[in-house]
Structure 1
Amino acid sequence: MSDVARHAVSGQPAPPGIGERLRKDYFRSPQQALISILGLGFFAWILWTVANWAIFSAVFDGDASPEECRAASGACWTVIAQRWRIILFGLYPFEEQWRSALACVTVVAMVVLSCLPSSWTGKRLAAIWLIGTALFYVLMKGGLLGMPLIGEERWGGLALTLFIFVTTCLIGFPLSIVLALLRRSELPVISKGIGLFIDAVRSLPLLSILFAFAVVVPFMLPQWLQAGKLYRVIFGAALFFAAYQAEIIRGGMQGVATGQSEAAKSLGLGYWQRTSRILLPQAMRNALPATINQFVISFKETSLVIVVGFFEILASGNAAYGTGDWTFAYREVYAFIALIYFVFVFSLSRYGAYLERRMAVGEL
């Protein structure tokens, strides 16, 4: 039965059709109609300009010369066809780039497995992330199973971007839970001290933290405590992530009714049982939108490591067009890199929206 028939049987007025809604929302008055038409025309002009540059007037021939690309009025995707290895793998040795590609596939598979409802237990998620990260590291580093040893200074491209993002979240998320719980401590010394620490980290730009861990920390620690530059930068990024995520989780905890904790106490549940079974699950549910947003921000902020000397995907893109033959094709390279960021970030945001819908109907 159609919506119109159902409303006719029930005696309720039928909902307005698409044409009626468009007229009501965009063409209610002559002024509104004029603005709508001008806005639609402007949008169509932008869409046609981009499509004409990227598709209709573009050069797709992978063997085209730079001179042929310069003569074209559209985009030159030849630079991507000829330089995609530099963009995706950076300084990684050419003959070993299959390892970098397999490492990227490992990260994607790890994320996909984490998104499956059957994996939503603490032990399974921990196993997936620890095993996946270890496999990624072995593939990139080598030294086992006959794979040559490749130092972190030669890592680059998409694999390095994913490694920084994954390890930042792997270290930062558990640390954020600890910081959030300590800030809610009943001991004033602990709660105020942790609060001061979180506010101090949040008041600093991420760029200054990366510089501090990359350059300043080696002068403050003995040689045996100094890790590699990459790992110091990752720890600094994880600390920054944890400070922001701790406040997000604390906000989620404040949304949990205090009566639930008191009821759990009356049932004889200890602190860890109340926290792990009642407080944290509801806090994570309340904080889900902000948490997804924090993950998205952290993924995009991996591009900042370029300023401390790492060859992540943005630096690799700069090298791809940085030679004398392809300096004019920077727009195409940045468009390709933007597409890679869009695929990862859009997929993450859509998954977050799926989780919100799932939680809204009480299926979790």
Structure 2
Amino acid sequence: MATVSATTTPSPLSASGFRPTGLLEKIRRRYFRTPFNALISVSGIIVLAYFAFLAADWAILNAVWTSPDGTSTVCRGIEGACWAVIHQRWRIIIFGLFTYDEQWRSMLACIAVVVTIVLSCVPWFWKPLRLASLWCTGFLVFYILMRGGIFGMPVVMPADWGGLTLTVFLYAAGVLIGMPMAIALALLRRSELPVVSRTTGAFIDGVRSLPLITILFTAALILPFVLPGWLQGDKIWRVIIGFALFFAAYQAEIIRSGIQSVPVGQEEAAKALGLGYWQRTGRIILPQAFRNALPPTINQLVITFKETSLIVIIGFFDILASGHAAYGTGEWSFAYFEVYIFVGLVYFLFVFSLSRYGAYLERRMRIGQH
């Protein structure tokens, strides 16, 4: 019997006999495959290096980091960045209008919410009872620390909350309340009862057709005129409910798309096994729907975090408004660029971390499918 020998093309060797493998080979194939690609790559590297040097020269080499006398005179006439404004005004950016002597409470409250969010990413907490207990504990600790009134802590009303702590709290509370609402709306829109499904669809489409600022403005300023006093509650909670409602309307459509992507045979097989509606939905349909809808869900969470900056329009002192107040005085008015870079870095830290965690979940769930 004749045999056919397989021939392989050897990897290119350099003049010294070095054979590029791994990372070097990937770089060569992507950026230096042809002379024209190499020319473009080298040109791009030179341009990026030039702008990186200019940025480093302004932000690091020629920058002023502190102000020994606490004034802005040290930054007058410099060619670099004036990070002294952050050194002198970081408290107002992070804590907002919170009472100066009690700002340790705001710091601990912010840490409590961040730790709660981080622990929620640990797979051990991915059980309904554990996750609910974790979030209830986290929010209880946050509210006690921020409001006070017990353990000898003075009362600080929500109108005096602000800065990064308020931004993180609004985001976490909006998502925590909005996600169950989104699941309920998605299931109601898929109801077999036409009245229920059409009414829910009209409600979702109506909320999605309104700008978020309209909903927040209505919740903060209009509702007190139409609700009885006992039902009004505090302004911050009305805003959180409005924020959660807006998030739920968009997330409901994302979850519904995930449900529709589940093969029909999955539910039919569950019915054949005698599983009830809630067993089919909770154990078979929703887990697969969340896995299928994970990328748009992460995208919606990122958008929601950035939309928290809109609360400044209704009078809340979030981190963006706090940053404006940090340079709003005549003494530091020239350092607005540095303040906004600092605030932007804070947003980037949260959003980038969230996106990386989303990528980790996608890899984890993709591996679980095999």
Unaligned 5+ residue runs, structure 2?
Answer: 1-5, 12-19
2:15 maps to none
1:48 maps to 53
| 2:39 counterpart of 1:39 | no
1:277 maps to 283
1:338 maps to 344
The alpha carbon displacement at 1:24 in A equals 4.3
The alpha carbon displacement at 1:224 in A equals 2.2
Residue 311 of structure 1: which of 302, 306, 317 is its match? 317
2:180 maps to 174
The alpha carbon displacement at 1:11 in A equals 6.7
The alpha carbon displacement at 1:342 in A equals 1.3
The number of equivalent residue pairs is 355
2:299 maps to 293
The alpha carbon displacement at 1:350 in A equals 1.0
1:209 maps to 215
Distance 1:176 1:14, change over 3 A: farther
Distance 1:293 1:170 in 2: 16
Deviates more, 1:212-221 or 1:315-324: 212-221
Deviates more, 1:324-333 or 1:228-237: 228-237
Deviates more, 1:44-53 or 1:162-171: 44-53
Aligned counterparts, 1:142-161, within 5 A: 142-161=148-167
Residue 94 of structure 2: which of 84, 88, 99 is its match? 88
Q: Are the counterparts in 2 of residues 57 and 74 from structure 1 also a CA contact under 8 Å?
A: yes
Residue 239 of structure 2: which of 224, 227, 233 is its match? 233
| 2:72 counterpart of 1:66 | yes
Distance 1:20 1:146 in 2: 65
1:110-145 Cα deviation digits (max 9, x unpaired) = 112111111111110111011101110111001111
1:163 maps to 169
Distance 1:327 1:314 in 2: 15
Unaligned 5+ residue runs, structure 1?
Answer: 1-9
Identity in percent: 60
Residue 147 of structure 2: which of 132, 141, 146 is its match? 141
TM-score, normalisation: structure 1: 0.93
1:289-340 Cα deviation digits (max 9, x unpaired) = 1111111111111111001110011111111111111001111111111111
Distance 1:12 1:281, change over 3 A: farther
Aligned counterparts, 1:66-145, within 5 A: 66-145=72-151
Q: Are the counterparts in 1 of residues 219 and 238 from structure 2 also a CA contact under 8 Å?
A: yes
SS in 2 for 1:146: coil
Distance 2:10 2:133 in 1: 53
| 2:260 counterpart of 1:254 | yes
SS in 1 for 2:41: helix
The alpha carbon displacement at 1:66 in A equals 1.4
Distance 1:149 1:12 in 2: 77
Say what the alpha-carbon RMSD is for the aligned residues: 1.9
Q: Are the counterparts in 2 of residues 62 and 77 from structure 1 also a CA contact under 8 Å?
A: no
